[in-house]
Amino acid sequence: MIAVFGLALGVLAGLLLEPSIPIALQPYLPIAVVAALDAVFGGLRAHLDGVFDDKVFVISFVSNVLIAALIVYLGDQLGVGGQLSTGVIVVLGIRIFSNVAAIRRHVFHA
């Protein structure tokens, strides 16, 4: 419950404060958000499986975000930033879909 409150609080803060993102961070934020979403869905799935561990969740969350940002940075340096970003998004999307499928099985038993 507290987790859902935190999410709502973050969204609310984002809406109310109208934050401006530093230009240096702007290329990494979208990918980081998607990577964090992947970690969140993974955590939700683990929670439903009964194997949720906060340490694992925190580490996977942070490392997902960092690796995503690193890949984007590396891709930009190598001149393949766009393609690499697309690849990362695709992989993360596939993972999100499979996690959501597992969650769906838990919730709807289907």
Partner 1 sequence: MPEQPAPPSSVPTKRTHRSQLVVAVLLAALGFAAVAQMRLTREDDDYSGQGRESLIQLLGSLSAAAERTQSQIDELERTRGELLSSSERRQVAVDEARDRLEVLEVLTGTVAATGPGVTIAITDPSVAVTAASLLNGVEELRDAGAEAIEINDTVRVVASTSFTERDGQVMVDGVTVRPPYLIDAIGSSHTLSEAIVFPGGLADEIERLGGAVTVEEADLVEVGSLHSIDAPEYSQPTEG
Site for partner 1 in 54-73 (CB under 8 A): 54, 57-58, 61
Length of the chain: 110
The reply to whether 7 sits near partner 1 by the rule CB under 8 A is yes
What distance in Å separates the CA atoms of residue 104 and residue 87, rounded to the nearest whole number?
Answer: 25
Residue 79 binds to partner 1 (criterion: CB under 8 A):
yes
Give 3-state DSSP helix, strand, coil % of the chain, rounded to 5.
Answer: 85, 0, 15
Q: What is d(CA 66, CA 95) in angstroms, rounded to the nearest whole number? A: 17
Check residue 74 for interaction with partner 1 (CB under 8 A): no
Contact status: 103 vs partner 1 (CB under 8 A): no
Q: Which residues have a Cβ under 8 Å from the Cβ of 27 and sit 6 or more positions away?
A: 72, 76, 81
Instruction: Check residue 1 for interaction with partner 1 (CB under 8 A).
Output: yes
Q: Does 13 bind partner 1 (CB under 8 A)?
A: yes
Measure CA 107 to chain center. 21
Q: Is residue 19 involved in binding partner 1 (CB under 8 A)?
A: yes
Point out which residues bind partner 1 (CB under 8 A).
1-15, 18-19, 21, 23, 26-27, 29-30, 32-33, 36-37, 40, 43, 47, 50, 52-54, 57-58, 61, 75-76, 79-82, 85
